[in-house]
Amino acid sequence: DLSLDMYEEINYRAGMASSLNNIGVIYNGEGDSTQALLFFRKSLTIKEELGDKEGMAYSLSSMGNLYETMGEAKTALKYYQRSLEIRKEIGDKHGISISLNNIGRITLESGDVETAKAMATQSLEIANELAHPPIIRNASKLLSEVLKAEDNYEEALKMHELYIIMRDSVLKQEIEKAVLQKAARHEIEAREAKIALQDKDNEILKVEVANQRLIVIGGAIGILSLVLFLWRLSVKNASLRLAGRT
């Protein structure tokens, strides 16, 4: 990873921790849990040394997600709970809402509907307060599943409808973001192409100037040679005339 190498070279430990966690996320997405866990632990260690509590909570949440995908729900729950504790300590409402939803999902799968409902409800309340569509989407989806488990189908349907609205809203935002990023890339590429064309034109101009300089120099040399030839011819003729007189 180039960013990691760069941060290591300048000993920027916060950047190193962030890059290590990102590499762990990539390995997790590829299904390589061993490597993912290795990088998450390295990242967490640096964040602990730096006292970066927000970063620690993020790494712990990443590790919880990893264990959840591995099917180790109890271990995942421990990491999610540790992440929640830190986020509450620093007042990170965005992170708290995510952690509550993570814990609610695990507890629902274990059959603890009551705890899952409490977690999902709190997560949705905070998400609504923050007006954050992605978290509202996840919390409403979880709460819909909890209410369905309680056989409260009417309320479950309401939550499911909210989930659909938020899901579509997030999807729209992601599409718009992708379009803007593509437009930005296109603009950058167009600028780079223009610069490259200007550089090429400059190189061509340099060659033309060099050629013109050679032509001028060549012409000057030719004229000088002609003058020298005429001078020599004049000297020779003068010598001949002088010789004829003697």
- The 3-class SS string of 22-58 reads HHHHHHHHCCCHHHHHHHHHHHHHHHHHHCCHHHHHH
Average model confidence (pLDDT) across the chain: 85
Summarize pLDDT for 14-24 with one digit per residue, the tens. 989 999 999 99
The alpha carbon of residue 223 and the mean position of all alpha carbons in its chain are separated, in whole angstroms, by 65
For the segment 201-212, the average pLDDT, to the nearest whole number, is 73
Quote the pTM value: 0.69
What local confidence, expressed as pLDDT, does residue 213 receive?
A: 78
Which residue would you say has higher pLDDT here, 222 or 72? 72
For the segment 196-221, the average pLDDT, to the nearest whole number, is 71
What local confidence, expressed as pLDDT, does residue 180 receive?
A: 61
Summarize pLDDT for 89-126 with one digit per residue, the tens. 999 999 999 999 999 999 999 999 999 999 999 999 99
Q: Which residues contact 67 (CB under 8 A, 6 or more apart)?
A: 73, 75, 76, 79
State how far the Cα of 55 lies from the Cα of 193, in Å rounded to an integer: 40
